[in-house]
Amino acid sequence: MQITQFFRRHPMEIILIVMFIFLVFAAPGFATVNNQLNVLRNITMQGIIAFGMTMIIVSGEIDLSIGSGVAFSGCVTAWITRELVDVTGPFFAITMGALTAMAILFGIGVLTGKLRQHFNMPTFITTLGLLTVLSGAANLITDGFPITSFPYEFNFLGSGYLFGIPFPVYIFITLFALVYFLMNYTSFGRSLYAVGGNLEAARLSGIDVWKTKTLALGLTGVFTAIAGVLIASQILSGSASAARGWELDVISAVIIGGTSLFGGKGTVRGTLIGVLFLGVIVNGMTLMNVSEYWQYVVRGGLIIGAVWMNHALDRKVKA
């Protein structure tokens, strides 16, 4: 009975462990330290955004513009660096570029929330439009060609190692801890669940529902910009074609982690499991020379399977 209850509470963790053990024997080189560090480095950028997306979806909203937001923030950082580097030096120029990108995407998140509040525009529609807007803006900034204005030392931020661990992993862990604290130990976190679970009840209890949703959207914009700066650091350029299709991967990780698309239910710890799950399975399939097309099929099937399993387990718990 206790084993059954444990599985109902932690299904994805158990499946992740079983899959990991399988890949140790089935995928050549999977268990090596270098490969595990590679998995960690590969999941950091999307994972950072997934932590913010968890807050958005728990609050009952969604953001489909994150892929273009990543590319846009990298291009903004590269462009400002190019314009300022001869005057201020690379460190200040890159810092100003990164902060500007964060401020812009935070503002766009706030704008999305205000449009939802005052004009009842679904965030699904608004962010779908922003996906195209930000992609076009990134191409306008770069004129269709990557901006290679970064010094080589900037590469450390996205590809360097500190004490044998990829540096982006430290940022990943720090932001996970921040979101975990916000969602579990602050009034903002409690408001997210209340608003996502029952908006009207939350409003009647005195919660500023639109402030809560807007702040979640704005914070995710900042996380998206951070991921964009890390990607720009990895490729040492601002590219308008970076991070295409990330929307599916990020939302997949959140859903696989147990967050309900209807809002009010989900944890950032579950999202961490979802991010690790996708990272491990993609790495394992690549090492096993599975066709890229089949990888898309498998990942899509995982989303359907995860949603079905979470709903099935919820019904059993309620019963």
Asked if residue 233 lies in contact with residue 158, where contact means CB atoms within 8 angstroms, the answer is: yes
Q: What's the confidence (pLDDT) of residue 315? A: 65
The whole-angstrom separation of Cα 56 and Cα 14 is 26
- Closest C-alpha among 101, 15, 66 to residue 250: 66
Q: What's the confidence (pLDDT) of residue 272? A: 96
296 backbone dihedrals φ, ψ, rounded to 5°: -65, -40
Angle at 197 between CA 307 and CA 64, to 5 degrees: 55
- Concatenate the DSSP letters of all residues of 235-284 into one string: HTSB-TTTTTTHHHHHHHHHHHTT--TTSS---HHHHHHHHHHHHHHHHH
Q: Which two tokens stand for residue 241?
A: 């074609």
Look up residue 27 and give its DSSP letter. Answer: S
DSSP three-state, residue 166: strand
Q: Is 271 exposed, middle or buried (0-12, 13-18, 19+ CB in 10 A)?
A: buried
- Closest C-alpha among 316, 8, 212 to residue 220: 212
The whole-angstrom separation of Cα 192 and Cα 256 is 19
pLDDT in tens, the chain (319 residues): 566 676 777 778 888 888 899 999 999 999 999 999 999 999 999 999 999 999 999 999 999 999 999 999 999 999 999 999 989 999 999 999 999 999 999 999 999 999 999 999 999 999 999 999 999 999 999 998 999 989 999 999 999 999 999 999 999 999 999 999 999 999 999 999 999 999 999 999 999 999 999 999 999 999 999 999 999 999 999 999 998 889 988 998 999 898 988 889 999 999 999 999 999 999 999 999 989 888 889 878 877 887 787 767 666 655 5
DSSP three-state, residue 126: helix
How far is C-alpha 18 from the geometric centre of its chain's CA atoms?
A: 25
Q: Which two tokens stand for residue 84?
A: 């300022």
Q: What's the confidence (pLDDT) of residue 121? A: 94
How far apart, in Å, are the Cα atoms of 107 and each of 137, 178, 216? 15, 20, 12
Q: What's the confidence (pLDDT) of residue 169? A: 96
Asked if residue 81 lies in contact with residue 150, where contact means CB atoms within 8 angstroms, the answer is: yes
Q: What is the fold of 30-318?
A: ABC transporter involved in vitamin B12 uptake, BtuC (1.10.3470)
Composition of the chain by helix, strand, coil, percent to 5: 80, 0, 20
Q: What's the confidence (pLDDT) of residue 112? A: 97
Q: Is 29 left (phi over 0), alpha (psi -120 to 50) or beta?
A: left
- Closest C-alpha among 298, 258, 297, 293 to residue 275: 258
| Segments making up each domain of the chain, as ranges | 30-318
**Which DSSP helix (H) or strand (E) runs through 103?**
helix 90-119
How far apart, in Å, are the Cα atoms of 164 and each of 31, 47, 172, 229? 17, 20, 16, 22
Q: What's the confidence (pLDDT) of residue 12? A: 82
Those residues whose C-beta lies under 8 Å from the C-beta of residue 73, and which sit 6 or more positions away, are: 98, 101, 102, 104, 105, 224, 225, 227, 228, 229, 232
